[in-house]
Amino acid sequence: MLKGKAIVLGISGGIAAYKAAALCSKLVQSGANVRVVMTESATKFITPLTLQTLSRHPVHLDTFHEYDPAVVSHIDLADSADLFIIAPATANILGKMAGGLADDMLSTTLLATTAQVLVAPAMNVHMYAHPAVERNMRLLAERGVLFVEPGTGQLACGYVGKGRLAEPEDIVHAAGQWFEQGQSLKGKKVVVTAGGTVERLDPVRYLTNDSSGKMGYAIAEAAASRGANVTLIAARTTAEAIGGVKLVKVESAEQMLQAVLEHYDDADLVVKAAAVADYRPVAAADKKIKKSDERLVLELVRTTDILQTIGQRKRGQFLVGFAAETDQVEHYAMDKLHRKHCDLIIANNVAEAGAGFNFDTNIVSVYGVEGLVESLPLMQKRQVADRLLEIIIQRMQAREAGE
């Protein structure tokens, strides 16, 4: 999986920097094109010449040392990377990354890259457990940075505990896994719905719900990162646009139904994360409704159930629905799964703190025909999306293999 991949290896100044030589060598042996960036502190532990010899490229040390006048080195490095690995990652570089600082070649290049960043921390056990370091790692994880956990054992300082740099083989394996994941939906067409639909009463008023669309957008982004051709059908949402994902904007439940049906037949995977209105006004006024009597009676009619409609039309698509509940979550989830012919239902109790609408986090349970598949604790929605995609892909692959 690493053959032909461009990997930038950042080395910061800890005693474990000597292991970066073995890591660099193994990456090159795996077929990767490795470019090395070292902090000044890192050069106190291992020489740039060693890394230059192993990588077969000049080692970048100084932001102002430009090797090629045709490019700006840190931007060129940042743009070229398929993956950015930092090993060892000291508490200092983690703090710079979390704070967005750029005062040397490594931190400047990190700030400029849009590539996936894979971090292998290494430091004293008490430093690793310090609240500031823990906070920085949580913040970086929320931004999508991946971590290779340090090992536990004898540290260079004499302490025994967690903080030892992961073995080079483990870091190479993690890199390979990330590239493999990036191909797991390659060639697949994925349709995701997100946001809350809007049912107009008049030109200035409407019925809707509290959905922010963030969960659906996270799933669309996670699917795209795995190589899928993603169409995101979105109603009202506060989530930000996603690069590389086809966005279809809709407003009402009827518009969403038509958009889903338009993209459904050739889809491999459909994830219905949108919160769709169950009812709409019988008629919407073409002018603003003025105040008159003390009471205003609205007549509503059922909207078409999108999930049930496409469930009845399944022709090999893998269908995933969402169930936002406030009680009897498992009962309603399993009922929905069977009635609407879903392969999986992702259910949550929106009354729980940190779950459901308008949060960046969620707490969900995954249900299949056999019942509960897995319960996920409070996690960032992008982390939830990644785990959900892992479960979905495993089941899609098993079905394709006839298991």
Q: Which residues are catalytic?
A: 157
Residues 112/36, Cβ–Cβ less than 8 Å: no
d(CA 77, CA 175): 18
357 is in an annotated binding site: no
d(CA 299, CA 155): 71
104 is in an annotated binding site: no
DSSP 358-369: T-SEEEEEEEET
Peptide bond into 131 cis (omega under 30): no
**Can you say how many angstroms the Cα of residue 89 is from the centroid of all Cα atoms in its chain?**
22
Which residues make beta-bridge pairs with 199?
A: 207
- Map tokens 């993603």 to a residue: 230
d(CA 127, CA 108): 24
278 is in an annotated binding site: yes
Q: What are phi and psi of 84, to 5 degrees?
A: -115, 115
CA atoms within 13 A on the CB side of 28: 17
Please name which of 397, 208, 233 lies closest in space to residue 306, comparing C-alpha atoms: 233
d(CA 195, CA 216): 7
189 is in an annotated binding site: no
340 is in an annotated binding site: yes
- Map tokens 């996936």 to a residue: 116
Residues 252/209, Cβ–Cβ less than 8 Å: no
Query: For the CA atoms of the chain, what is the radius of gyration?
Result: 25
Identify the three-state secondary structure at position 24: helix
Beta-carbon count within 10 A of 151 CB: 14
Residues 274/196, Cβ–Cβ less than 8 Å: yes
For 27, which DSSP code?
H
For the chain, the residue count is 403
Residues 366/376, Cβ–Cβ less than 8 Å: yes
Binding site members for CTP:
278, 288, 322, 336, 340
Binding site members:
278, 288, 322, 336, 340
